[in-house]
Structure 1
Amino acid sequence: MPTVSATEFVRNFGKYREQVTREQITVTDQGKVAGVFISADDAVLLALAKEGRQACHVRDLPADLRDAVRTAAPDDEMLALDRLMEGR
C-alpha cells in the first residue's frame, strides 16, 4: 500500500483517485498516518462488515438463539486446542 503526504495527496488527487481503484493509499500528515483512501467498493464492503458486528444484550436475542448459545459445546478441534494450551 503506497504512502503519500497529505500535501502530495491534495496536489495529485486525480492521480490517486485512479490509483485507489487498484490499491489503498495511506495519507500522512507530519509523518503520522492521517487516514487511508479506499475505493468506493471497499467502503461498501467495510460498511457491510461493520453492520454484521452489532453488539446486543443476551436478553435481546431471539429465544432460539439464546438456547443455541446456552447448549453450545466445543467440538473436538476446540477441545484439542484447550489441551494444547493447558500443556496436556
Structure 2
Amino acid sequence: MITASASLFKKDFGNYQRMVRREPIEVVNHGEPTGYFVSPEDFAEYQRLRAAASRRHLRPVDLSDDQRKALRESRVPPEFAAPEDLMGD
C-alpha cells in the first residue's frame, strides 16, 4: 500500500488519482493514518463485503477467487477430523 502525507496528497492529487488505480493509498498526518484513498472498484468491493458481513453469512459468490481457492484447499486438522470420537460411548 502506498502511504502519503496529507500535505503531499493534497499537493499532488492528480498523480495519486492515477496511482490509486494500482493500489490503495494511505493518507497520514503526523505519522497517523487519517484516511484511505481507494479506486471506485475497490470501494465497490468494500461495500459488497460490508453488506455481505451484515447478513452474518457469506455466499460463495461474495468471496474473491483467492478466498474460494483457500476454502477449497483447506483441510480439517487431524484432532478435529472425527468429532464422533470425542463423544464417547
Match of 1:69 in 2: none
Q: What is the identity percentage for the equivalent residue pairs of Structure 1 and Structure 2?
A: 28
Measured in 1, the distance between the counterparts of 2:78 and 2:49 equals 29
In the TM superposition, what is the alpha-carbon distance from 1:81 to its structure 2 partner? 3.8
Q: Which runs of 5+ in 2 are unaligned?
A: 57-74, 83-89
- For the residue of structure 2 that corresponds to 1:52, the secondary structure is helix
Indicate the RMSD between aligned Cα atoms, in angstroms: 2.4
How many residue pairs get matched? 64
TM-score normalised according to structure 1 size: 0.63
In the TM superposition, what is the alpha-carbon distance from 1:32 to its structure 2 partner? 0.5
TM-score normalised according to structure 2 size: 0.62
Match of 2:38 in 1: 38
User: Matches of residues 51-66 of structure 1 in structure 2 within 5 Å?
Assistant: 51-54=51-54
Q: Which has the larger radius of gyration?
A: 1
Q: Which runs of 5+ in 1 are unaligned?
A: 57-75, 84-88
